Structure formats: structure tokens, C-alpha cells
Structure 1
């Protein structure tokens, strides 16, 4: 069986066959139970399992505030194969983000990232890990200058819509790389700029981090056929694209 998008049990299934299932994870949804929030009752893994009626196995992760394509395997054997595919970097991941400032039209950041533990989830981790190589390509899709003085240094505020293509998969890689470039992702409360986050909340009612896993491309782990999975944007994202006249800049990656 293969499907191409349906809402089941409050989860958006965007691809399913007998081996795999992919969802469009909403922002704020944890992938699985975590010490990060003991009171949380909704998790992507359990919701997906209940929707498809079988156990599912996560093969990669998305940060809680990141939305978009999240892939699960339906068996341990397929999960092992997919994990190897991700580890060997035979997967292409493309994200959309809104960042502060006018970023150059395209480029690559090759900047190793040190291990930064979470106080709860990483409390038993080795804190002496060496910095890991991390590489991200970016392409600017659109930009805008707004007549709002969010920063005291400038009478206007600038933002860019970018496509981000990580070549490695480090924790918070895209968020930390954009911060390192002085173009933090709007809405990022850990690595972003609080003034611009507050501006988007008050001016556009945008309460989320504007980072979305739009596309995942890989070879099917069983059939070997090319597989392209895409996830649509939520209402807050679309509101920003419409307000900034950026809708036409977000092309369909499948064409």
C-alpha cells in the first residue's frame, strides 16, 4: 500500500507503503517520550503507530520546534538499513527557514560544532567530546526590508527566505550554523535573536520557529527506487509567505 497524504488520528501521513511511513510533523511535537517534558502526552512515534496499526521505528530526528518530513520504518530490519543510509549521508534533506538579515545568495558553511549537552537528556553524556565536522549549503530564495526598527541600530529590518541543505546531521546544526553566520533563524529561542522573535509574535502572530524540513530524498531501502517525500507548510508559515509576497519563491521541489 502507498498513500500520498492523509490525516489519521491527528497525524498528517504524507507517505506510506508496507515498509515505511512518513509524517509531516507539526512544530512543538516531540518525536518520542522524553525527559524534556514529563507532562507531554502527544508524541509523533505513538501517534504514527496508532494511525498505521503497527510498531514504527524512528530513523532520524527533528527538533521539537522544527516541522516537516519525519520518516519511520515499519520493521527493525528496515530501520537498520535506513539508519545506515542516513549515517553514510546517502540522504538529501532540504529545509526552509526565515533568517534575520540579507544573507548572500548562496554559500557553504563548514564549521565544526562542539557538543552542547541538554541539562536533562544529556546529563550522563561525555562532556569531553571533540568538535564534530558540520557542513551546510544554503541558497537565498527571497528577501525583504520592512519599515520597522526592531533593532535600535537600524530604522528598518531585513529578512531572508533560505533553503538549507545539511550535509551532516549534528544536533541543532542548522540553528547553530545560522547563528554563526549572524543570520539566526526567526523564532529560535535557543540560538536566535529575542527582539526579532518578539517582533514576529506581535506583528504577525507567529509563535513558532521558522524552520521546516520540506523535502527528503533517498533510495527506497527495499526496492531501491528513488523516493522523494515532501511536506507542506502550516498556517503560520503561509501567513508569513503571504505577508512578505514570498509564496512564489517556494517552488515545488518535485518538479
Structure 2
């Protein structure tokens, strides 16, 4: 039985970075905003990740993984720490749909789907500037810079370069920004952010990659900033029943206000 969207406002908090620095990351607090369960079907848990928190972090720091584990422990009166498989991640400033698993078998099967690229994910991005084409494909060679949470474009054929491919279409073009739908053919570190920025179209709020336009609510710490990138939908095969599932994550108020204001 599938259980549809429920919002958990302040049930289990935590906040940190995905796989990186622990310096400057606040410990777990009981005042962090919550998360939304979009679907729960057997061992599959589909969550709407808020922007500004990491997917994973050490246990003493806030992260989406820790929030979910704490909620499950409370809901199920679990004597120990509940298992939660994390077959993929989203960057800290990115919001959107994420897929988790409640047992090891489901985690392995979902990981195989990600590795085999049979899972389809679509992203929405708001970028600065005016795109000359309504749709297209971007191809680059890029790498994650060693020791830094950043990526860079390399010349084709560079020994450290990995091919990065994405497809986009323009959903709306304003005087100052473009709203894109993006589908990744590859999944490189910061791929959408870097490929857009390298062409002169940085994502709103993404000062790390050259954006000048802010996005999202004001925050106390720079690490908590949002960017205009949202994992809109995910389509996958249920790891146990093999049924096809597709789930969509709603937009935040910041997204909705930006789109509504431009339309009015």
C-alpha cells in the first residue's frame, strides 16, 4: 500500500554537508525544519529534500538522512538505529525529490538502477540570462577538483576529464532569467551548475559558480543558502514488485513567488 505526501515539520532535525567539511556545520538541533514524505511503498521511501541541508553528514550533525532516521525511530519505536539506504544524493543548496530504501536488498537494486541509468530524473533550473535556443544538448569534459567541493571544465581528451552530457528545454524565458527543464545523461559532481555557468547562464543564487542574482530566503550562514535548482521528478522500477513509479516534488514558496511575479 502506497502512502502519499505527508509533511513532517519539526519531527527530526539535523544539518551539515553531504560528504565534505564538518567545520562550521551546526550540530543536531530540535528547531530545524522538517521534510515531506511524497510516497512510502514497502521498502521505498520518496522524500522531498529541502534546500540548505546536506543529504548526509556525520551522525552528530544535521542532514536529511539523520532527520529521516530519527523520524522512523520515533514512529516505529525502533530499539536501535533504523536502516536507511541512500542510493543517490543532492547537493546541499538543491531541493527536490529523493529516493531512499528501508532494507539492504532494496538499496542494492535501486543502486543498480542508478548505475545502469535506468532511473529517469528531471530537474528544473532558473538561470541568469537569455538562452538563444529553446532546447539543446550540452557536452563537456569535467572533473571534481581534488580536495575542494567544486568542479571544473577541462579540454576534451584531458586525462582527468569525464564526459558530461545533459539535455535541456526552455519552459519560460523572462527579461532576466530562463526556466529550464533538464535531463542528465551523465551524473557528474555539480554537473548542471557547472555546465550552465560555463556558458554564461549561472543558476540563481549559485555564487560558487558565478551567479549575481540571489535566490531563496535570507539565511544566517552562507552554507545554508539555496540555489534555483530543483530535482522535480524521479521515475524508477520498484525494487521488489518491478512496477513503474514516478514521483514529483512540489516547488517551494521561493520558486512559486519568482514564477508568479514574472507572470503577473
Same fold (TM over 0.5): yes
Q: 2:47 aligns with which of 23, 29, 39?
A: 23
Aligned counterpart, 2:237: 219
Which whole-Å CA distance do the structure 1 matches of 2:143 and 2:234 have between them? 26
Q: Are 1:183 and 2:201 an aligned pair? A: yes
Instruction: Please name the residue that 2:109 is paired with.
Output: 81
| Unmatched tracts of structure 2, length 5 or more | 12-33, 74-81, 151-157, 220-224
**2: CA distance, partners of 1:118 / 1:188:** 20
TM-score, normalised to structure 1, is 0.79
Once the two structures are superposed, the pairs formed by residues 51-66 of structure 1 within 5 Å of their partners are 51-53=71-73, 54-66=82-94
TM-score (normalizing by structure 2): 0.77
* 1:13 equivalent in alignment to 2:37: yes
Distance 2:210 2:185 in 1: 22
Q: Deviations over 1:72-105 (max 9, x none)?
A: 1111111111111101111111011111111120
Match 1:231 to one of 224, 229, 249: 249
8 Å contact kept, 1:11–1:51: no
Q: Distance in 1 between matches of 2:42 and 2:162?
A: 36
Structure 1 residues 28-177: aligned runs within 5 Å: 28-34=52-58, 41-53=61-73, 54-103=82-131, 104-119=133-148, 130-145=160-175, 158-177=176-195
* 2: CA distance, partners of 1:89 / 1:120: 24
Cα separation, partners in 2 of 1:215 and 1:118, compared to 1, 3 Å: farther
Looking at structure 2, the residues matched to 144 and 118 of structure 1 have their Cα atoms a distance apart, in angstroms, of 38
Residue aligned with 1:6, SS: strand
**Alpha-carbon spacing, 1:135–1:24, altered in 2? closer, same or farther (3 Å):** same
Unaligned stretches of 5+ residues in structure 1:
122-127, 146-157, 247-255
The answer to whether the 8 A contact 1:67-1:211 is kept is: yes
Q: Give the 3 Å change call, closer, same or farther, for CA 15–117 of structure 1 in structure 2.
A: farther
- Partners in 1 of 2:197 and 2:56 — Cα distance? 27
Q: Deviations over 1:139-162 (max 9, x none)?
A: 0000111xxxxxxxxxxxx21110
Partner residue, 1:152: none
